[in-house]
Chains A and B, each alone.
Chain A
Amino acid sequence: GDSVTQMEGPVTLSEEACLTINCTYTATGYPSLFWYVQYPGEGLQLLLKATKADDKGSNKGFEATYRKETTSFHLEKGSVQVSDSAVYFCALRTAGGTSYGKLTFGQGTILTVHP
């Protein structure tokens, strides 16, 4: 079945440091890939997405590139801020079958950014 593996956390960085959160996936078919962010006490917010190989999703300074050859979708940011502290989830969706539109999530990576 489909699965998503994220790098183990938590990740602790100083403000303005570079961020990379690794995400690899296993999927039947051709998935769409997503990064969601969850701030304390809140639901999930879509951060960025990519729907085909070599697509780059970007938002709020975050980027991720859909790499079909390595089945990866790593999240990157060149300079993190304290306000980026949150839990980040990588997810995939494959269409069709009996779970049409189902999102499969990784376990999440906690990011803490210190001033």
Chain B
Amino acid sequence: ETGVTQSPTHLIKTRGQQVTLRCSSQSGHNTVSWYQQALGQGPQFIFQYYREEENGRGNFPPRFSGLQFPNYSSELNVNALELDDSALYLCASSLGLAGTPGETQYFGPGTRLLVL
């Protein structure tokens, strides 16, 4: 069984640029969530996709957007990058309807983004 994978592992961008991060969910998982983890902090929820539809969003501006594809892989896009966007971006996948008590989210290794 293949776990959650993310690409790239590291990325350096400059302020104002745009970035796309990718996530392949664990086999059979139809829910993908994205989190931002600033240095020394706990992850913060960005949004979640269930069967290609966004079904929950945290306190992030619209320049953070996403997609989920028919194979349940996902992208996180960030436009007009700011210095504070520097963080580890984590993707998590889960099986079944998001939020059910038995659901477990499995995390990928993350993409570390540095904005200069």
Asked if B33 is an interface residue, CB under 8 A from chain A, the answer is: yes
Bound CA–CA A106/B92 (angstroms): 17
Asked if B72 is an interface residue, CB under 8 A from chain A, the answer is: no
Contact with A along B8-36 (1 / 0, CB 8 A): 00000000000000000000000101010
Determine if B42 and A106 form an interchain contact, defined as CB atoms under 8 angstroms apart. Answer: yes
Number of interface residues of A (CB under 8 A): 29
| Nearest chain A residue, comparing its CB with the CB of B91 | A43
Number of interface residues of B (CB under 8 A): 32
Chain A residues positioned under 8 Å from B108 (CB to CB): 43
Identify 20 new A-B residue pairs, CB closer than 8 A, beyond the known A94-B99, A97-B56, A103-B43.
A42-B109, A42-B110, A44-B43, A44-B92, A46-B105, A52-B101, A89-B43, A93-B103, A98-B56, A99-B57, A100-B48, A100-B50, A100-B98, A101-B48, A101-B105, A102-B56, A103-B33, A103-B45, A103-B105, A105-B43
21 A-B contact pairs sorted by A residue (CB < 8 Å): A36-B107, A42-B109, A42-B110, A43-B110, A44-B43, A44-B107, A46-B105, A49-B104, A52-B101, A94-B99, A95-B99, A95-B100, A101-B31, A101-B56, A101-B103, A102-B45, A103-B43, A103-B45, A103-B92, A107-B42, A108-B40
